[in-house]
Amino acid sequence: MPETVLQAAFPSVPRGGLAAQRVRRAWWMAAPMLLVLAAVGGWPLLRTIWFSLTDSELSRLDDYTFIGLENYVGEYGLLASTDWWHAVGNTLLFTGLSVSLETLLGLGVALLLNQPSRLRTLLRAALLVPWAIPTVVSAKMWSWMLHDQFGIVNQQLLALGLIATPLAWTADPQLALFSIVLVDVWKATPYMALLILAALQMVPVDCYEAAQVDGVPRWQVFRRITLPLILPGILVAVVFRTLDALRVFDLIYVMTSNSRDTQSMSVFVREQLIDFGLVGYGSAAATCLFFMIALLSIVAMGLMRKAFERAAA
Amino acid sequence: MSGGHEAATATTAALRRQAPSRRRFPWGDVGYWAASLLFIFVSVFPLLYALSSSFKQGSALFSPTLWPEAPTFANYSGVFAEQSFAHYLLNSLFVAGSVVTLSLGLSLMAAWAFGRVEFRGRGLLLMLILSASMLPQVAVLSGMFELVRAFGLYDTLAALVIADLLLTLPFTVWVLVTFVRQLPRELEEAAAMDGVGVLTLVFRVYMPLLWPAMVATGLLAFIAAWNEFLFALTFTLSTAARTVPVAIALISTASGFELPWGKIMAASVIVTLPLVALVVLFQRRIVAGLSAGAVKG
């Protein structure tokens, strides 16, 4: 970056050109970041979409032919693949379950944290523990706790007489996805709680005060005052978490590897791309995931704008 | 916060203090304590259990007692002796450190442009940057793979540093823009009077003032890069360029039967404890940084 040039140019510019000068300088200052983002985000994304229209393979990335939408709608295309639809179903089920549980629990935890108390600092510290633990590590920690023979969860449940035989938490196809949801809820509820807490803390205190003076019951205060005021904040948090949950990879890959029963869309994509080396086909799946998330973001943004306008009115 | 607000808070607190005396039994308080303690237990227990398991060996691993009967460091020494774990730790540290430095530097420069200067396309660009944070990692995987190979970076740490910027830049930019906007305008005018360049303004005047925000965003970026798994799994192959999350995911026994859980837990504890310590130490700033990105955006 030519600092001396910028320095020399700054003080001696005539007044009329100052604004234009500033704008040009702003572009220079933003350029390195924008270029990096374009190089690591924009360009690879465009290449992925392009690859999805070819028969490219990992072993011969440069040597491919254009095959149009064959990867999507062809005889062996994505839309005809039961594995793909299974992965879509798993992802949607995982997202729906984990985000709704995280929202409810996150709201509860945020309400606890919003209460002035001696426990508050301890609560906040405890809140950040699951959030700070790397996903791979939490997946391993829970895999160990949920181990079918030696795991503490089965041992305790057996001791309490809640189950008669040990459950295969991660191996049983009926259970595995729910175990994964459980771990995700443990890991992501803190994030949800923090975002909802931020919304809670922006509720003006006079609202509560007036309600308290009038003797409105607590539950009514929550339903009629708090909830409507924090709803836009909750909505933002739900959207963030949903978009995050739709691309889940680490947790599922570490807990159950490439198993068909729990495979998410991201796990499917990586298996096709890297393990099978089918760059064209894998890119088609990645492109589908991308457009799904893009569409959802656009819809969500529209909804949020409406919610904010209603809250402001 | 205004003074009136504080007075109102004080009144509410006074009202709250009176409240229990009016009721016969403080069900609300009991509920609060029970829920809080349950939440603290559930949050912390898995880490404690991992810690406990990491000091157990052999058949002791299969007993559920929290306090190991015969504590052993064998898992820890094993992780460092058999796994060259120290090397993976250094790799992770290098990647995360570089990502933090690059993200903060690039974002601070851009934050001045986006936070202080009105120019056409600013809002659109900010939305584009935000949408980059919604990109699924797998959507850039094949394109990035090609890029990494073309530059001869396959199986190097540099590939990971570059790829991880996609995960950190969007939010470091957004958070720093909101903080730069809050700085007084006079700073810039004073700098202009002194004939100081923009880069000096940003790195010599803004940076010291913004250090709390820099610490928070830097820490978030560090955690993101330290925990990153998918790129590290895909763009590296040899143990020379392996990072900690990949190493932990790949720990297995030579025989391939039961996983060496004691060692996995020891490795997990090693990578997690520094992170948890940092986060608990800086908890106020992190909470502020996390919510600044979401709410003010």
Q: Helices B157-182 and B85-116, interaxial angle, to 10°? A: 40
Question: What gap in Å lies between CA B94 and CA B147, rounded to an integer?
Answer: 21
Distance from CA of B12 to the nearest CA of A (A): 6
Does the beta-carbon distance from B46 to A116 stay under 8 Å?
no
Question: What gap in Å lies between CA A216 and CA B31, rounded to an integer?
Answer: 20
Question: What gap in Å lies between CA B249 and CA B283, rounded to an integer?
Answer: 28
Residues A125 and B283 sit within 8 Å (Cβ to Cβ): yes
What is the location of CATH 1.10.3720.10 in chain B?
78-296
pLDDT digits (tens, 9 = 90+) for A154-197: 888 998 988 888 888 888 888 999 999 999 999 999 989 988 98
Higher pLDDT, B284 or A25: A25
pLDDT digits (tens, 9 = 90+) for B271-294: 888 888 888 888 777 777 776 655
> Searching chain B, which residue's CA lies closest to the CA of residue A130?
B43
pLDDT digits (tens, 9 = 90+) for A260-306: 888 999 999 999 999 998 999 999 999 999 999 999 988 888 887 77
> Searching chain A, which residue's CA lies closest to the CA of residue B103?
A33
Average confidence (pLDDT) over B221-231: 92
Residues 166-205 of chain B with CB under 8 A from chain A are 166, 169-170, 173, 192, 195-200, 202
Which of A21, A84, A129 should we substitute to test contact with B (largest number of B Cβ atoms within 10 Å)? A129
- Residue ranges per structural domain of chain A: 3-8+16-42, 70-312
Local confidence band at B172 (pLDDT 50, 70, 90 cut-offs): very high
Sign of the Cα pseudo-torsion (A291, A294, A296, A298, in order): negative
ipTM of the complex: 0.87
Q: Which CATH class is domain B78-296?
A: mainly alpha
- Tell me the chain A residues in contact with residue B192 when contact means C-beta distances shorter than 8 Å: 10-11
Q: What are the residues whose beta carbons fall under 8 Å from the beta carbon of B167, sequence distance 6 or more?
A: B133, B137, B224, B225, B228
Question: What gap in Å lies between CA B166 and CA B162, rounded to an integer?
Answer: 8
- Which of A138-142, A169-173, B18-22, B159-163 is the least confident region? B18-22
SS3 content of chain B, % helix, strand, coil (to 5): 80, 0, 20
Which of B5, B30, B43 should we substitute to test contact with A (largest number of A Cβ atoms within 10 Å)? B43
Architecture, CATH, for domain A70-312: Orthogonal Bundle (1.10)
